[in-house]
Chain A
Amino acid sequence: MTEQKPAAPRIRVDLQQVADLVPPGARVLDVGCGDGTLLAYLTAHKKVDGRGMELSMARVRAAVSQGLPVIQGNLENDLKDYPAGAFDYAILSQTLQATHNPAAVVEDLLRIARRAIVSFPNFAHWRVRLSVMFGGRMPVTPTLADSWFDTPNIHLCTILDFIDLCRIMGVRIEASFALDGAGRKREFAATAAIANLLSEQALFVLTRD
C-alpha cells in the first residue's frame, strides 16, 4: 500500500475500465472503495469531486492517509444516509454479489446518483458451467477464488439474471461491457447470451433517466 501513488498513471485494468466511464469533474461516490486507488486516480486525472465508503477500517485509514475523503461504512446500512441525487456517479465494483439485498443496493445507488457503474463476476461463464457440470462441485475459478464455505459471495448471478433484474426494477442499462478475468474488455461482438457464456466479469452503466 505504501508504494501506491495517488497520481499513478496506471491502475488495475478493471478499475481503469470503470475510470474511463467517468467524465471529468463529476461528483462520484465509490462504494467499497478499498484503499482508494480508483478514487485517487479519478481525483488526480479526472478532477472529480469524489467520496468513498469502505467497510475495512484498515483500508479507510490507508485512503484517508492519502488525503482522500473516505468514511468507514457498510453500504447496506449507510447508503441510506445520502440524499437523493447527491452524486453524478455511484460506483460499486465487484461487491454486489456479496450484499444481502442486491436489488435494494441498486435501488439506493440510483437514488443517490444519476448513474450507477456496477461490476460483478458472471456466474454463467463457461469455466463456471464446466466446473459444476463435470467437477460436480461449487466452482473455484480465478475470478471466484473462494471455496463455497468461506466465500463472501452470497448472491452470485449471471449477466442474463442481472439484465432480468434491471427489467423488473425498471432500470435502464445505458451501457454494458463483457470483461475477461483481468478486467480487459472482450473483443467479441456480444449478444447477451454469448457474453453470458464467454465473459468472466460484467460491467454495467445503469440509470433511471
Chain B
Amino acid sequence: MSPESPAPRDTTRENQGAAHAGLRLAEPLVLQSGVTLPGVTMAYQTWGTLNADKSNCVLVCHALTGDQYVVDTHPVTGKPGWWSDLVGPGKIVDTERFYVVCANVLGGCMGSTGPKDINPATGKPWGLSFPVITIPDMVQAQAKLLDHLGVRQLFCVIGGSMGAMQVLEWSHRYPERVFAAVPIAGSYRHSAQNIAFHEVGRQAIMADPDWCQGNYADEGKIPKRGLAVARMAAHITYLSETALHRKFGRRLQDRNALTYGFDADFQVESYLRHQGNTFVDRFDANSYLYITRAMDYFDLAEEHNGVLAEAFTGTKVRFCLISFSSDWLFPTPESRAIVRALNAVAANVSFVEVISDKGHDAFLLDEPEFHQTLQGFIDGSADQRGLPARRKP
C-alpha cells in the first residue's frame, strides 16, 4: 500500500524525492534542550482512510530500532512489517476501520531528520553536532505531522518499549488529543539498569576507530563492528534466559567439538553475530547514540517532583497497560507503577500481564493472550468512541 494523505498540503512541501515518503515541517522545532532545529522532515506511512469526522486515527509509535514500516515489506531488509501480525486489513488494528499512521522518530535513520542528514548551516552531515533529542521532542514532531494530516484527536496511540514511552508522553502532553492509549512493555522512566545497558552499546560504538568521533560519513567509513556489538548486547536484553536457552542451549555451530579458540563455537554466538551484522545494514550508528539517549533521559515523574500520578491529573484518556511476565528489560512492576499512578487519579485503566517466556520481544511476537487483550480493549474503546464495530469474521 502506498502512503496517502487525505489532508490539504498547501502549507508544507512533500519530500517527494526521498527514498522514504515524508513531510517537511513548515516550522522549526524548538527542542526540550532549548535548541531550535530547522528543516525537520518526518518520514511516515499511513494505511486506511481517515473518516469524515476524523475520529478513527491510530498512531503507532515504534521502538528503538523500529521504523515506520509497520505493515509493508521493509525497503531495506525485505522482511514483513514489524507489526504486520497486528496491523492490516481485518487485523486487530484493522486498517479497514482505522486510519493508521506511523512515523520514523525524530533522530532516526529511515527518512526522518537525524544525525546522518545534512546540516543546512554547514552542508555537511550533522554527526555529533545534531542536537540531543528527547521523547517529548519525538512526540512534538509527531503532533505536527498529525496537524498536517488533519487529525486533531487520535482514537488510539499505541506502542511497545520506546513506543510505550511515546504513548505515555502523548497522554501526558496532549491529553485532549488522545482518546485511548496502549503502552506495552514499557516504563515511565529508564531505570539505572536500562541506562547501563545503553551505555555499553554507546561505548561499543564510540570505541570503534571507524566511528571517527561521529564523523564517519565524511571519512567514508561505517563503525560496523561497534554498532554490531551494541546490537548484540541489546539483543540479549530483548530475550529471556529461558527463551535463549530453549533456542540455542549449549549447542555447537556447524561443528562437532569445541575448537579451543574464539570462533563462534556456540550457536548462540553465531546467532548474535548475525543479529549484529545484519543490523548495521539498516541502522545508523549515530542515530543509535541519539535515540538511546532520548530513552535514558525520559522520566515522566521527574517534572512532577517524582510523583507520577501528577502527570495524569484529571486525565480522560482510557489506558490499557500490557506487560509480559518474562520481560526483564521493562518488567511488570514498571507497568504496575503506572497503573498505581493512574488509579491515584481515578483514571480509566486496564492492566494485563501476559504470561510468556519470550522476554521483552514478546510484544512483537505471536502471543495469543496479548492479541486477545488488545482486541478487546480496542473494540471496547471504538464502541465508546462511537466508531463502527468490527466485522465478525
Contact = CB atoms under 8 A, between A and B. Distances in A.
Please indicate which of the listed interface residues B343, B349, B372, B377 has the most CB atoms of chain A within 10 Å of its own CB. B343
Interface stretch (A79-87, A161-169, A175-183): A79-87
A13 interface: no
A20 B352 CA distance: 29
Given A64-B320, A82-B346, A71 B376 contact: no
A57 B346 contact: no
B242 interface: no
Contact of B373 (A61, A73, A83): A61
Please indicate which of the listed interface residues A49, A68, A72 has the most CB atoms of chain B within 10 Å of its own CB. A72
Nearest to A27: B346
B348 A69 contact: yes
Interface in B287-343: 318, 320, 339-340, 343
Please indicate which of the listed interface residues A49, A68, A81, A83 has the most CB atoms of chain B within 10 Å of its own CB. A81
Given A71-B343, A78-B343, A83-B345, A64 B377 contact: yes
B380 A68 contact: yes
A28 B369 CA distance: 27
B92 to A, nearest CB: 11
B213 interface: no
A67 interface: yes
Contacts of A115: none
Given A71-B339, A81-B340, A65 B351 contact: no
Contacts of B210: none
B340 A78 contact: yes
Contact of B383 (A67, A78, A83, A87): A67
B340 A60 contact: no
Interface string A76-99: 001001110011000000000000
A71 B339 CA distance: 8
Contacts of B352: 57, 60-61, 64, 72
A17 interface: no
B7 interface: no
Nearest to A66: B376
A70 B346 contact: no
Given A81-B340, A81-B343, A65 B353 contact: no
Given A61-B369, A83-B344, A67 B379 contact: yes
A111 interface: no
A70 B340 contact: no
B387 to A, nearest CB: 12
Contact of A86 (B346, B354, B355, B372): B346
Contacts of B373: 61, 64-65
A82 B318 CA distance: 16
Contacts of A61: 352, 354, 369, 372-373
A51 interface: yes
A69 to B, nearest CB: 5
Contact of B376 (A65, A81, A82, A83): A65
A65 B340 CA distance: 21
B376 A64 contact: yes
Contacts of B351: 60, 70-73
B343 A66 contact: no
B12 interface: no
B380 A66 contact: yes
A67 B387 CA distance: 14
A130 B1 CA distance: 74
Contacts of A82: 343-344, 346
A58 B344 CA distance: 24
Given A57-B353, A60-B352, A65 B346 contact: no
A57 B355 contact: yes
Contacts of B377: 64, 67
Given A60-B352, A72-B352, A83 B372 contact: no
14 contacts: A49-B348, A60-B352, A65-B372, A65-B375, A66-B380, A67-B383, A68-B380, A69-B348, A71-B349, A71-B350, A71-B351, A81-B344, A82-B346, A83-B346
The 9 closest A-B pairs by CB, nearest first: A67-B380, A65-B376, A86-B346, A81-B343, A71-B351, A64-B350, A81-B340, A65-B372, A69-B350
